[in-house]
A and B are shown apart, each in its own frame.
Chain A
Amino acid sequence: MSPKLQIRVTVNGQEHDGLVEPRRLLSDFLREDLGLTGTHVGCEHGVCGACTVLLDGQSVRSCLLFAVQANGHTVMTVEGLAASDGSLHPIQAAFWQEHGLQCGFCTPGFLMTTYELLQANRSPSDEDIRAAISANLCRCTGYQNIVRSVRAAAEQMSTAAVAPVANARQ
Chain B
Amino acid sequence: MAVEERTWVGKSVSRREDPSILAGRGTYIDDVKLPGLLHAAVLRSPHAHARIRSIDTTAAQRVPGVVAVMTGPEALEYVTAMPAFCAETVVQHAIATDRVRFVGEAVAAVAATSRYAAEDACQQIKVNYEPLSPVSDPHAAMQSGAPKLHDTLDSNVVFERTLRFGDVDGAFSQAQHNVKRSLRWHRMGAQPIETAGIVASWDPFSESMTVWSNTNMYNYIPWVFANLLKVPTNRLKMIPCLVGGSFGSKHLITKCFAIAGALTKATGRPVKFIEDRLDNLAANDNVGPDRFYDAELALSDDGTFLGLRLHIVDDYGAYFQFAHGQHGNALSQPTGPYRIGALEYGIRCVLTNKVQQGFFRGAGSDPGNFALERLVDAAAEELHIDPAELRRKNFIRPDEFPYKTPTGNVYDSGNYTRVLDRAIAEGRIEHWRNEQQRLRKEGRYIGIGLASCQERSTYSATEWWFWYDKPPFPLTTTPESVKLSIDAFGGFLLTLGCPFWGNSPSTVAAQVVAEEFGVDPNTIAIDYADSQSGALSAGPGGSRLTVMISGAARGASRKVKDKLFRVAAHLLEASASDLELVDGSVRVQGAPTRSMSIADVALKAHLFKLDIPADEESGLSATFTYDHPYTTKPSDDRTDMGAFYPIVSHACHVPVVEVDPETGLVSVLEYLAVNDCGTVMNPKLLEGQVVGGIAQGIGAALLEEYVYDENGQLATSTFMDYLLPTAYDVPPAVRVIHEETPSPFTEFGVKGGGEGGRMVAPIALASAVEDALRPFGVRIDELPMTPQRIVSWIDESKAR
Across the two chains, which residue of chain B brings its CB closest to A45? Answer: B718
Task: Check A139 against B724 for contact (C-beta < 8 Å).
Answer: yes
Task: Check A107 against B22 for contact (C-beta < 8 Å).
Answer: yes
- B243 → chain A closest CB, angstroms: 6
Given A81, A95, A105, A133, which contacts B193 in the complex, CB threshold below 8 Å? A105
A167 close to chain B: CB less than 8 A: no
Task: Check B727 against A130 for contact (C-beta < 8 Å).
Answer: yes
Q: Roughly how many angstroms separate A126 CA and B562 CA in the complex, as a whole number?
A: 52
Given A23, A37, A147, which contacts B24 in the complex, CB threshold below 8 Å? A37
Q: Roughly how many angstroms separate A31 CA and B29 CA in the complex, as a whole number?
A: 13
Given that A40-B28, A42-B194, A140-B502 are known contacts, is A145 also in contact with B688, CB under 8 Å in the complex?
A: yes
Task: Check B22 against A82 for contact (C-beta < 8 Å).
Answer: yes
Q: Roughly how many angstroms separate A144 CA and B247 CA in the complex, as a whole number?
A: 19
Given B116, B501, B684, B691, which contacts A103 in the complex, CB threshold below 8 Å? B501
Q: Roughly how many angstroms separate A24 CA and B114 CA in the complex, as a whole number?
A: 11
Across the two chains, which residue of chain B brings its CB closest to A137? Answer: B724
Give the most central of B64, B190, B242, B244: most A CB within 10 Å. Answer: B244
Stretch of B157-165, B171-179, B420-428, B728-736 with 4 or more beta carbons under 8 angstroms from chain A = B728-736
- B241 → chain A closest CB, angstroms: 11
Chain A residues 127 to 145 lying within 8 A of chain B, measured CB to CB, are 130, 133-145
Interface of A is mostly: loop
- B529 → chain A closest CB, angstroms: 20
- B378 → chain A closest CB, angstroms: 30
* A103 neighbours in B (Cβ, 8 Å): 192-194, 242-245, 500-502
Task: Check A48 against B688 for contact (C-beta < 8 Å).
Answer: no
Task: Check A142 against B23 for contact (C-beta < 8 Å).
Answer: no
* A145 neighbours in B (Cβ, 8 Å): 688, 691
- B188 → chain A closest CB, angstroms: 12
* A104 neighbours in B (Cβ, 8 Å): 17-18, 21-22, 26, 242, 244, 502
Task: Check A102 against B692 for contact (C-beta < 8 Å).
Answer: yes
Task: Check B691 against A142 for contact (C-beta < 8 Å).
Answer: yes
- B17 → chain A closest CB, angstroms: 7
B267 close to chain A: CB less than 8 A: no
Task: Check A24 against B116 for contact (C-beta < 8 Å).
Answer: yes
Task: Check A88 against B193 for contact (C-beta < 8 Å).
Answer: no
Across the two chains, which residue of chain B brings its CB closest to A91? Answer: B22
The 8 A CB mask of B719-742 against A (1 = contact, 0 = none) is 110001111101011100000000
Q: Roughly how many angstroms separate A41 CA and B29 CA in the complex, as a whole number?
A: 12
- B526 → chain A closest CB, angstroms: 15
Chain B residues 16 to 66 lying within 8 A of chain A, measured CB to CB, are 17-19, 21-28, 30-31, 64
- B715 → chain A closest CB, angstroms: 16
Q: Roughly how many angstroms separate A78 CA and B193 CA in the complex, as a whole number?
A: 17
* A95 neighbours in B (Cβ, 8 Å): 18, 22
Across chains A and B, the number of contacting residue pairs, with CB separation under 8 Å, is 174
A9 close to chain B: CB less than 8 A: no
Across the two chains, which residue of chain B brings its CB closest to A83? Answer: B23
Task: Check A134 against B728 for contact (C-beta < 8 Å).
Answer: yes
A11 close to chain B: CB less than 8 A: no
Task: Check A142 against B692 for contact (C-beta < 8 Å).
Answer: yes
Q: Roughly how many angstroms separate A48 CA and B193 CA in the complex, as a whole number?
A: 8
Task: Check B31 against A37 for contact (C-beta < 8 Å).
Answer: yes
Task: Check B194 against A40 for contact (C-beta < 8 Å).
Answer: yes
Across the two chains, which residue of chain A brings its CB closest to B23? Answer: A82
Q: Roughly how many angstroms separate A116 CA and B242 CA in the complex, as a whole number?
A: 27
* B727 neighbours in A (Cβ, 8 Å): 130, 133-134, 136, 143, 146-147
Q: Roughly how many angstroms separate A77 CA and B25 CA in the complex, as a whole number?
A: 12
A92 close to chain B: CB less than 8 A: yes
Chain A residues 61 to 86 lying within 8 A of chain B, measured CB to CB, are 77-79, 81-82, 86
Q: Roughly how many angstroms separate A92 CA and B19 CA in the complex, as a whole number?
A: 8
Task: Check A105 against B24 for contact (C-beta < 8 Å).
Answer: no
Across the two chains, which residue of chain B brings its CB closest to A39? Answer: B24
The 8 A CB mask of B235-279 against A (1 = contact, 0 = none) is 000000011110100000000000000000000000000001100
The 8 A CB mask of A1-30 against B (1 = contact, 0 = none) is 100000000000000000001011000100
Given that A45-B720, A92-B23 are known contacts, is A142 also in contact with B730, CB under 8 Å in the complex?
A: yes
Q: Roughly how many angstroms separate A44 CA and B503 CA in the complex, as a whole number?
A: 26
Given A38, A42, A86, A133, which contacts B277 in the complex, CB threshold below 8 Å? A42
Across the two chains, which residue of chain A brings its CB closest to B500? Answer: A103
Across the two chains, which residue of chain B brings its CB closest to A37? Answer: B31
* A135 neighbours in B (Cβ, 8 Å): 726
- A77 → chain B closest CB, angstroms: 7
Chain B residues 673 to 715 lying within 8 A of chain A, measured CB to CB, are 684-685, 687-689, 691-696
Task: Check A45 against B726 for contact (C-beta < 8 Å).
Answer: no
Task: Check A106 against B730 for contact (C-beta < 8 Å).
Answer: no
- B703 → chain A closest CB, angstroms: 12
Given that A41-B30, A103-B501 are known contacts, is A79 also in contact with B23, CB under 8 Å in the complex?
A: yes
Q: Roughly how many angstroms separate A28 CA and B244 CA in the complex, as a whole number?
A: 18
B234 close to chain A: CB less than 8 A: no
- A45 → chain B closest CB, angstroms: 6
* A1 neighbours in B (Cβ, 8 Å): 64, 117, 120
* A144 neighbours in B (Cβ, 8 Å): 691, 730, 733-734
Given B18, B28, B277, which contacts A101 in the complex, CB threshold below 8 Å? B18
Q: Roughly how many angstroms separate A74 CA and B496 CA in the complex, as a whole number?
A: 41
* B277 neighbours in A (Cβ, 8 Å): 42-45, 48
Across the two chains, which residue of chain A brings its CB closest to B64? Answer: A1
| Minimum-distance CB pairs A-B, first 6 | A38-B24, A105-B244, A103-B502, A142-B695, A104-B21, A47-B719
A40-B193, A40-B244, A101-B18 are known; give 5 further A-B pairs, CB within 8 A: A45-B719, A105-B194, A126-B732, A142-B730, A146-B727
Q: List 19 A-B contacts (CB under 8 A).
A: A1-B117, A44-B277, A45-B719, A78-B22, A82-B23, A86-B19, A88-B19, A103-B192, A104-B18, A106-B193, A130-B728, A137-B726, A139-B724, A141-B692, A142-B692, A142-B695, A142-B725, A142-B734, A147-B732
Q: Which residues of chain A have a CB within 8 Å of any CB of chain B?
A: 1, 21, 23-24, 28, 31, 36-45, 47-48, 50, 77-79, 81-82, 86, 88, 92, 95-97, 99, 101-108, 111, 126, 130, 133-147
